[in-house]
Structure 1
Amino acid sequence: MTDLQISLIGIGIAIVIGVIAYNKWQEYRARKHVERAFSDPVDDVLMKTDQADGKPERREPVLGNASVSEEPPGFAGSEPRLVLTDNDGNETADDVIPIKVPDVPVDELIELTIPFNPEESFRAEKILPHLQSLRYTGNKPVRFLGWQEGDEGEKNWQTIVPGNSYRQIEACIQIANRNGALNEIEFSELLLRLRQIADAIGAEPDVPEMAEVMEKARRLYQFVSDHDAKLGISICSNGAPWQKVTLNTALEKQGFESRPDGQFVMRDKENGGVLFTLSTNELPASETATRLTLLMDVPCVAPEKEGFSQMIQCGKALCIRLDGALVDDGNQLLTDRFLEEIAGQVNDFYREMQEYSIPAGSARALRLFN
């Protein structure tokens, strides 16, 4: 090896060492800059500082006295259970969820409960201002229930009202709706707000494991997205466009209720629930319309209401009254045979929702498909 080669090797080694040293120095400067910028530490809801030696101690969160897959009180082992699959269609033991609605006002299937361990009994007047400050995390509703002072035997969870004392309270968070599942950001923000409330009222929340909550929320949302069905039919004019004044009169005689947004609603005569809606497909300022669309939110209408049958009868009556034709989105005429096939599919849809213990039109379904 010549002197030139040895010199080049030495120069190369020196350059490499210089680059490494420069990078280390830059990392040290950046770390010091960050430490100075964030020198005021923020408490982590999952971390606690050991006062004895100052070392952080990881606190593994738990879900009350039960895991996600355990049955809540009142569930018999022989009760039917809801099984939701993963993206590959596989079923596992963790995917089993009790399907019977508990007698207490907590829906274990669609809600996450986070109990608070109090230092003493809660007075409603003291805690309500803090609890009422948290109503949603993202677009998922949050509510609080209390176990009233003096109740004996099994816990009787009820809405917190002034004048009462409560041995325990718990936050109930809906983990999914048709807008999506509870996600990591929403869950983290929820824990931060619950920690603030807990500090204000003197309590300690039992926080569940995030991974388990996210998985349960994802599986529930998968069901919701698979059954988020809206069924529509249209009425097209056979001649000249309809005048809005004439059209509104005809719709009122048919039993529709007008709304400020320009849509019309057909309500159930028994409980006032919405069976289906009607849209003119025109801007509010428009004076005419040539097409009407009837739309039914299938999971929100109970089978016994016969919403689809009523929507078809209403559509046919409007066709006679307005000289129109019943068509689909592609302007193909809807024959009675085709409508019967659709009705059969709607009945199959209802049976499937019933099997999953989320009956169409039930309080649970209305909360999920809001």
Structure 2
Amino acid sequence: MTDFQMSLIAAGGVFVVGVISYNKWQEYKARKSVERAFSSDHDDVLMRADGTLTSRQEPVLDLGVAPAGEGVVLEPSLGTAGIADEAAPAAPAAPVHLPGAAPDTPPAELAESLVDPLIDCLIPLALELPARGDKLLPVLQKLRRIGNKPVHFIGLHVNGDWEPIVHGGVYTKLQAGVQMATRTTSLNELEYSELVTRLRPLADEIGAEPELPDMIEAVGEARNLHKFVAGHDAQLGVNLRSNGAPWAMATLIGALENQGFDVRPDGRFAMPDGEGGVLFTLSTNVTLGSDTTSKLTLLLDVPCVAPARDGFGKMVACAKALVQRLDATIVDDYDQPLLDAALDEISGQVQEFYQEMEAADIPAGSTRALRLFS
């Protein structure tokens, strides 16, 4: 049997697995719909879809909304006239960390970065009843990754805004986003089948109905995205070679720290950008226990640094400063001297690279780029 025939058989097997998983998912949804219809065990049975209570008289739902511009909704409290509200205060919302996002990013903007239609496979989840973030978060934490692809969830708050799901929020709809590509792989048929399988019990536990996209279309989009990522996974290196004896590590570390580098646990050095990010890194090209080295490598992760930060220009400037400090020569990977003309040519190529990423709506250094190239 030829390799081509074996490839066809393998591809057919993957497709069959996906179809079977999808059919089983449909059967599962139908069965659970019937079970829920005849079950009396529902959470928040007095709450309508708009977040208000039904006509039962005792409690009144008081949605405390933060002042305009703060983008945070307080925990709803149930109270009655003349009766003190004994409910415990809501737990503080856990901060959502996303590469490239500022700490004070508005919730709506953060939600767009977490579940991004350009780089994520989107899965709407219709909730049977409004649900509190306190109940949703422990369940959603069970699905954080599919393979090496991160999974994020956002919710439509009762105030009408999409936001990251937090303690104290009440949500009428959810949306999941599975990142379609990373530096190494794209979302494939087996991972999609795993997603469907793992989403079944999760959706049932929170009373949600997922709207799954077509597997073939989702996988096709993922492959196209990965082609872009692979074609723009550029890292530029500039080497420094000692003109004399190898540098003693103890002396070298002090010189690099004076130049502004931060020491990493893995033995690499990072040049901070002044806002919590990294402009470029430096490797000593030897193990942590080595006493000396005769070559340093400065490395720029091009798609992860915004053009405005001029990562390549600052890396070259740093290399030239180290030339004077360490008595070194700037060389390429073949140990040939890198002259200013060659460095200027590379700088022009970097600018063209940035223009390509901008045209693809994945600007270098953006949250979108940092997610794809992390």
Question: Structure 2 counterpart of 1:44, which letter?
Answer: K
Instruction: Note if 1:135 corresponds to 2:139.
Output: no
Which whole-Å CA distance do the structure 2 matches of 1:249 and 1:112 have between them? Answer: 47
Question: Structure 1 counterpart of 2:185, which letter?
Answer: G
Instruction: Note if 1:115 corresponds to 2:124.
Output: yes
Return the match for 1:165 from 165, 170, 192.
170
Return the match for 1:297 from 285, 301, 305.
301
Instruction: Note if 1:45 corresponds to 2:54.
Output: no
Correspondence for 1:6: none
Return the match for 2:277 from 273, 277, 280.
273
Correspondence for 2:366: 362
Correspondence for 1:318: 322
Which whole-Å CA distance do the structure 1 matches of 2:23 and 2:343 have between them? Answer: 60
Correspondence for 1:30: none
Which whole-Å CA distance do the structure 2 matches of 1:274 and 1:198 have between them? Answer: 39
Deviations 1:245-267 (A, max 9, x none): 11001101100000010000001
Which whole-Å CA distance do the structure 2 matches of 1:198 and 1:213 have between them? Answer: 20
Which whole-Å CA distance do the structure 1 matches of 2:211 and 2:22 have between them? Answer: 20
Q: 1:237 to 1:208 in 2, by over 3 A?
A: same
Partner SS, residue 272 of structure 1:
coil
Which whole-Å CA distance do the structure 1 matches of 2:195 and 2:182 have between them? Answer: 17
Return the match for 1:285 from 279, 285, 289.
289
Return the match for 1:146 from 155, 172, 175.
155
Question: Structure 2 counterpart of 1:173, which letter?
Answer: V
Structure 1 outlier segments of 4+, above 2 Å: 46-51
Correspondence for 2:342: 338
Correspondence for 1:306: 310
Instruction: Note if 1:238 corresponds to 2:218.
Output: no
Which whole-Å CA distance do the structure 2 matches of 1:131 and 1:138 have between them? Answer: 16
Which whole-Å CA distance do the structure 1 matches of 2:311 and 2:159 have between them? Answer: 46
> Quick check: 2:158–2:170 contact (8 Å CA) kept in 1?
yes
Which whole-Å CA distance do the structure 2 matches of 1:248 and 1:227 have between them? Answer: 32
Partner SS, residue 294 of structure 1:
strand
Correspondence for 2:195: 190
Which whole-Å CA distance do the structure 2 matches of 1:125 and 1:344 have between them? Answer: 51
Q: TM-score, normalised by structure 1?
A: 0.71
Note the residue ranges of structure 1 that are not aligned, 5 or more in a row.
Answer: 1-40, 52-101
Identical positions, percent: 52
Correspondence for 2:15: none
Which whole-Å CA distance do the structure 1 matches of 2:243 and 2:372 have between them? Answer: 40
Q: 1:199 to 1:43 in 2, by over 3 A?
A: farther
The offset of 1:50, in angstroms, is 8.3
- Larger Rg belongs to: 1
Matches within 5 A, 1:78-93: none
> Quick check: 2:22–2:196 contact (8 Å CA) kept in 1?
no
Q: 1:182 to 1:115 in 2, by over 3 A?
A: same
Return the match for 1:251 from 247, 256, 264.
256
Which whole-Å CA distance do the structure 1 matches of 2:124 and 2:362 have between them? Answer: 25
Q: 1:255 to 1:368 in 2, by over 3 A?
A: same
Q: 1:49 to 1:229 in 2, by over 3 A?
A: closer
Partner SS, residue 282 of structure 2:
strand
Which whole-Å CA distance do the structure 1 matches of 2:247 and 2:318 have between them? Answer: 17
The offset of 1:47, in angstroms, is 4.4
Which whole-Å CA distance do the structure 2 matches of 1:159 and 1:232 have between them? Answer: 38
The offset of 1:148, in angstroms, is 1.2
